[in-house]
Amino acid sequence: MQTLRRTVAVLIFPAIAYLGAACERTDTPTGAALPPAALQLSSGDDRWVNFVDPTPLNGYFPPGTSCNDPGYRTIQAAVNAASSGDVIHVCPGPYDENVVINNVSLTSLTLLGAQAGTLVAMRTFGDPLESTVTGDMLMVDAPVFQIAVPNVTIDGFSVTNTVASGSAIGIGVKVAGSGALVTNNIIDGVFTPDPFTMTSSSAQAIYLQQGPDNVVISGNAISNVRSIRSAKGVFIGDATGSTDPSLNVLIQGNSISDVTSDSRGSYGVTINRGNGTVANSGLVIQGNTIQRLTGLGVSHVGWVHAIGLEADAPGVLVRENSIRNLVSPTFMGVSTAVGVWFEVTDPSYNTAHVNQNNLDVTIADFGIQVDPNITATGVVDGTCNWWGDPSGPGPVGNGLGAQVSPKVAFIPWLLAPAPGGACRGGAPSGGTVTGGGQIDVMSGTTSGVGSFGFSANAARHSGHLDYLNHLSSTHLNCTVNMVVILPPGNKARLDGTCSSNNYTGNFTADVADNADPGKNGDTFKITYNTTTMDGSTTMPIRSGNIKIH
C-alpha cells in the first residue's frame, strides 16, 4: 500500500512528491545541502504531519513516514496519538490550531517544525518553507502551543496569535512542563485588543506559568507583541497562585523587538513569579538582543523595562545582552525607560550580577536601576557594562552615558561595546588581591575539600589562580585577565581562562576579605564549566586567608 500511495502521489502531485522524495532520499548528491532536520527521516517512533495529504485518494495512515506520506493532518492529532519519546515532524504549510500537550502519561515529546535546527536569522516568518501555526482568535487565554507535560521540545516553527478578547499567548509552559526547550522559533504577531479594564488581557510571546523548572528558551525571534495592558516578550509568572518557584531557567540568544503596551509596561524579559515570596534561583538571561520596546501610557503612566526583575531571583546572571531603543514617558521628570530594573519585590537584588551588557539607551534613560523603594543597603554588581559612552554612566557617575541609580556598583565599566571593550573605565590605579586556603565542596551527599591559591593585580588586570577539587580531582590552572574590586573594597571578582588536563575554558572567582585571619570569615567561590560552582559567597573558608589591599 505504501508503494502504491507514493506512485499515486508522483502521478497526481509532482511538486509535493518532489518535496517528499527529497525528504526520503538517503544519499546526498555532490554539492547538495541536506534538508532541515525536521524533514529528514529518522528511526524510532516518528509521526508526520502535513496539512495537505499528497495522496487524498488513500487518506492519512498514522504515523506516516515522510512529508509525502503523512500520518496526520493536524499537529494536535499527532500529539494525541503520541507516546513518550516520540518525535513529531510538522511539514511546511499553514496550521490553524491551538496545540495542547497535556497527556499525563507523557514524560517527553519533541515537535519539529520544518525549519528545526535552522537559525532564525536565516529565515522569514510565514515563508512557504515554514511550519506556520496560527492560534484561533476565539480561543481566550489559550497559547498556540501549551506545554503541560515534562521535557517537551518546540523547535523550528513560525507562531502567531491574534485574539478577539482575553490574553494573547504564543507558547505557554505550565508548572508541569519542567524541562521544556523552546528554540529556533519565529514568534511574530501576538496581540489582544481588550481594553485596560480587562485585568487579564495582556500579550506575552512566551509565558512560563506558575513555576516550571529547567526551562530553556534559546535562539528565538520574538516581535510585534502588543496589548493595552502590559506586553512581554518572555514572561516568567505569576505573582500569585502556586508557591512553586521557577528554578534554573535559561533565556539565551533570543532576539526580542517591537513589544508595545498602550497603557502599561513593555518588557523584553520579566519575572514576577511569587512576587517576592519564593526564591527563583538559577535564572540566567544571557546573549539576548532587546530593542524597540514602547510603553505608551495613554490612560496610566507607561514604562519600559527591557529586563524586569520583579520577583526574588537570588544570584541572577544578566550577561552579554544588547539593549537599545526604549520609549516611554517620564514620570515627575524621571525616565521610566530602564535597561535592567530591580523591583522592591526582589529581596535578593544585591546578589545579582549584571555584566558585559551593551546598555545603549539614551542619556535620559537608565541602564540599570534599583527601585528607590528598596531600603536595604546592598548593591548590585553592575560592573563591566557599556553605557553608550566611554565616560561611563551618569548621574550617580560623572559620565555621558545612560543613567545608573544608587545601589549599583558600576566601576569599572567598558570603554567600548561588548564583546571586546576593555573593562577599565573609572578603575582604580592600584589594588592587589591575594589568597590561599581550603573550602568545603560537595558531590551529591559526599563532602570533600577544595584547595585554592591566587595572586592578581587590579591595575594591570593580570594574575594567576590555581584550584584543586580533591573530591572530583578537577585541577584548574588559570590565568587572570580581569580583576574587579567591588565596594566597599573588601570584595573582588577574578575572571580569566584555564588550561589543564581537566578543564579548558573560562572561570570566575568571587572572593571576600572579611576577617584576618580568614578562617571562618573570608569567602571563596569559583564558577567554571558554565554551571559548576565550588565554594560560596556566604559560607566561610575552612582554612587560609584572603587579602584585598
Same-domain status, 143 and 113: yes
Inside any domain, residue 29:
no
Q: Are residues 387 and 413 in the same domain?
A: yes
- Residue 29: pLDDT above 90? no
CA distance 479 to 459: 15
* 8 Å CB contact between 118 and 139: no
Q: Say if CB 531 and CB 546 are below 8 A apart.
A: no
Q: Which residues 6+ apart lie within 8 Å of 401 measured at CB?
A: 359, 363, 367, 386, 387, 388, 389, 391, 392, 393, 394, 413
CA distance 180 to 547: 44
- pLDDT for the residue 226: 96
- The answer to whether 217 touches 251, Cβ cutoff 8 Å, is yes
Residues whose CB falls within 8 Å of the CB of residue 404, separated by 6 or more in sequence, listed in order: 366, 367, 368, 369, 382, 387, 393, 394, 396, 397, 410
Summarize the confidence of residues 262-289 as an average pLDDT. Answer: 94
407 alpha-carbon distance from chain centroid: 25
Percent of the chain with pLDDT over 70: 89
Q: How many CA atoms lie within 13 A of 132 on its CB side?
A: 14
Whether residues 413 and 485 fall in one domain: no
**Average pLDDT for 168-193:** 97
Per the prediction, the chain carries an average pLDDT of: 88
Residues 263 and 359 reside in one and the same domain: yes
Q: Is 19 inside any structural domain?
A: no
Same domain flag for 540 and 413? no
* 215 torsion bin: left (phi>0), alpha (psi -120 to 50), beta (else): beta
Q: Among 425, 449, 482, which residue terminates a domain?
A: 425
C-alpha cell at 360: 545603549
Residue 207 belongs to some domain of the structure: yes
- Residue 49, in any domain of the structure: no
Give yes or no for residue 545 having a pLDDT over 90.
Answer: yes
Average pLDDT rounded to a whole number, residues 350-364: 95
What pLDDT does residue 39 have? Answer: 56
Highest averaged pLDDT of the listed ranges 30-39, 101-110, 508-517, 523-532: 101-110
pLDDT at 144: 98
Task: Convert the pLDDT of each residue in 302-345 to its tens digit.
Answer: 899 999 999 999 999 999 999 999 998 877 677 899 999 999 99
Residues 449, 410, single domain; the answer is: no
- Distance of CA 307 to CAs 161, 300, 340, 357, Å? 23, 21, 5, 12
pLDDT band at 407 (very low <50, low <70, confident <90, very high): very high
DSSP 3-state of 197: coil
**Tens of pLDDT, residues 44-86:** 489 999 999 988 888 899 999 999 999 999 999 999 999 999 9
Which residue in 341, 424, 340, 431 sits closest to 383, CA to CA?
A: 424
| Residue 403 within a domain | yes
How confident is the model over 286-301, as a mean pLDDT? 85
How much is the average pLDDT of 461-474?
91
Residues 483, 345, single domain; the answer is no
> Is residue 32 in a domain?
no
The confidence band for 33, taking pLDDT boundaries of 50, 70 and 90, is very low
Which triple of cell numbers denotes residue 73? 493532518
Q: Does 96 have pLDDT greater than 50?
A: yes
Which of the two residues, 443 and 397, has the higher pLDDT score?
443
pLDDT at 476: 92
Q: Are residues 315 and 411 in the same domain?
A: yes
Mean pLDDT lowest for which of 21-35, 283-297, 366-380, 419-433? Answer: 21-35
Percentage of the residues of the chain whose pLDDT score is greater than 90:
66
Strands (E), 113-193: 131-134, 145-147, 152-155, 157-162, 168-173, 181-183, 186-191
Rounded alpha-carbon distances, angstroms, from residue 3 to 20, 134, 392: 13, 34, 69
The C-alpha atoms of residue 424 and residue 429 are separated, in whole angstroms, by 10
The C-alpha atoms of residue 365 and residue 495 are separated, in whole angstroms, by 29
Whether residue 296 is found in the same domain as residue 163:
yes
Mean pLDDT over 176-190 rounds to 98
Q: Which of 376, 393, 425 is the endpoint of a domain?
A: 425
As a whole number, mean pLDDT of residues 30-57 equals: 68
The whole-number pLDDT of residue 9 equals 38
Higher-confidence residue of 462 and 291: namely 291
pLDDT of residue 330: 77
Quick one: pLDDT at residue 4? 38
Residue 28 included in any domain: no
For every residue of 365-381, DSSP letters joined together read SEEEEE-TT------EE
Q: How many CB atoms lie within 10 A of CB 506?
A: 15
Give which of 254, 393, 284, 391 is closest to 335, Cα–Cα: 393
Q: With beta carbons less than 8 A apart as the criterion, state whether 181 and 139 touch.
A: no
Query: What pLDDT is recorded for position 427?
Result: 67
In the block, which residue shows the cell 589594588? 431
Per-residue b or e along 331-345, where b marks 16 or more CB atoms closer than 10 Å to that residue's CB: eeeebbbbbbbbbeb
Confidence band of 36 (pLDDT split at 50, 70, 90): low
Residue 5 has pLDDT above 70, yes or no: no
Q: How confident is the model at residue 483 (pLDDT cuts 50, 70, 90)?
A: confident
Residue type, 460: R
Domain enclosing residue 539, as ranges: 432-548
Single residue among 386, 410, 425 that ends a domain in this structure: 425
Nearby residues of 371 by Cβ (< 8 Å), 6 or more positions away: 341, 342, 343, 344, 346
What pLDDT sits at residue 40? Answer: 52
- On whether both 407 and 437 belong to a single domain, the answer is no
- List the CATH number of the domain containing 521: 2.40.160
189: alpha, beta or left, given left = phi > 0 and alpha = psi -120 to 50? Answer: left
Domain count, the chain: 2
60 falls within a domain: no
**Co-location of 414 and 436 in the same domain:** no
Q: Is the pLDDT of residue 273 over 60?
A: yes
Question: Are both 98 and 219 inside the same structural domain?
Answer: yes
CA torsion angle 36 41 43 49 (round to 10): 90
Are 113 and 90 a contacting pair, CB within 8 Å? yes
Q: Which residue has the cell 589591599?
A: 549
Is the per-residue pLDDT at 2 higher than 50?
A: no
CA pair distance 336, 314, nearest whole angstrom:
24
Q: Tens digit of pLDDT for each residue in 229-266?
A: 899 999 998 888 778 999 999 999 999 999 999 888 99
